[in-house]
A and B are shown apart, each in its own frame.
Chain A
Amino acid sequence: MSWIPFKIGQPKKQIVPKTVERDFEREYGKLQQLEEQTKRLQKDMKKSTDADLAMSKSAVKISLDLLSNPLCEQDQDFLNMVTALDTAMKRMDAFNQEKVNQIQKTVIEPLKKFGSVFPSLNMAVKRREQALQDYRRLQAKVEKYEEKEKTGPVLAKLHQAREELRPVRDDFEAKNKQLLDEMPRFYNSRLDYFQPSFESLIRAQVVYYSEMHKIFGDLTQQLAQPGRPDEQRERENEARLSELRALSIVADD
């Protein structure tokens, strides 16, 4: 609104004390921060769970494709191993889905709900701002009339201006007070609000990984492959490769 000549519309006296304004800014600022963080957290959480699901699905595909290979019909040992693997993968996928559902319910949804309060808050702050503008403008008008020579029409106008000012000032004060009360309360509510979600998040992970440990632990036992250090496994891989390369039909590359 740069075309308003500066002197019109700005009251002379400071209608809102600096401390009040500063408090307001600070509280609102904290909430704006919180809004952004919760929004981004929600997005990231969603993406993370989507990636988690994708990973699990691709694990299932591994065993599914193996199972559908005709080699399974020829080789009983292979069939047994692949079947056991497939069972394990499918069970893990089911547990993963459960985990994701739990996270959806106890973390992502609540985050969304928390975030949905902010538009109302922002709206309310805008309205307070609007009220402040109106307040300022009308205050300036009153002051203008107050300074003029006190003739009849001037008095009438002054009276009218004062009548207009009163409700607007009351409105602003009401809004200001309401927000100054509610904002900190809302901000603090985050403490109680989020703790259950994150506790639930940790526990859901633990449940899932416990199952994973059990299922794959059992499978490892079943496949009779004892624990070997990684160097040993690497050496075995080298050995297998050399065996293959020893065949004439395999290219020496």
Chain B
Amino acid sequence: MRLISEKKPAFPWFGMDIGGTLVKLVYFEPVDITAEEEQEEVENLKSIRRYLTSNVAYGKTGVRDVHLELRNLTMCGRTGNLHFIRFPTQAMPRFIQMGRDKNFSSLHTTLCATGGGAYKFENDFRTMADLELLKLDELDCLIRGLLFVDRVSFNGHPECYYFQNPSDTQSCVKKPCTLDNPFPMLLVNIGSGVSILAVYSENNYKRVTGTSLGGGTFLGLCCLLTGCETFEEALEMASKGDSTNVDKLVKDIYGGDYERFGLQGSAVASSFGHMMSKEKRDSISKEDLARATLVTITNNIGSIARMCAVNEKIERVVFVGNFLRINTVSTKLLAYAMDFWSKGQLRALFLEHEGYFGAVGALMELLKTTEDP
């Protein structure tokens, strides 16, 4: 009979990150359940496990990112698979309702949650589903989660990657790397908004700054300008557009480069700068607008990140957050910007599990242990 340590929390094991736009949920599915344990399991725990692991979509908007699943992970002495699920924060009431319907509260587990929604929805969880949230700081969770996933690696493959030759569209190639000796690092979390952290060690970091022009801005502006409704639509449009019809470039003002300060003619001098002209407005497409919005937001973040890196004297800049999900345009732009403007001094790094680190960190807080290697 296996001794169940009193320190191990009861199943199910969840970590939640309730952001401004998306809820990120990580769920640990144990695969080492003994026959005995299975017999003792309560019905709703089984049902939750079955529901989550046998579906890849939940309701209309819930999605399980199967390609991100971490298999045969050992956490807190148990072996299992870690699943990554997301749904829009707007659908939170439905989620809480489901929790109530499945009698989640009778399981007496602690629900560790981070992100602003942990505060905003705290009452709703209590009143609608009789669930008490353990609220955690999102930046603590972010760092903890990131370091954990990098350590355990992505099913044997590196979690971290960068782009070689980002300034050369022909030879630009994705390359893996590890975050060995990760400190100090500049961590740029691009969610609805942006937070920039200087991380000196696992427990020593500071929030350097933030910007309100984040993923939420991109999507909100895109919806307004093009009539699109989802992030995927917006990205699809952006991939087809040409932002140079919308933005005023240095060469539009100078007739060429602004040599004195090293600004190439192709650099953007004024984002959306052509749009004050009616003829130009009439001649551009929705795709051009979507592209310009993406490029503007991305370059602004890149510019601010670079300034922070220079100030904090940090050479590695790690970009995370769901703004970069399926967003190769932005990822490459950021890689290019860091490399180009710093003349190769700075390197942009990316992580496969993008926006899930907060949720992973919340799960780890629940387990309050380091995983077995």
Partners in one complex: no
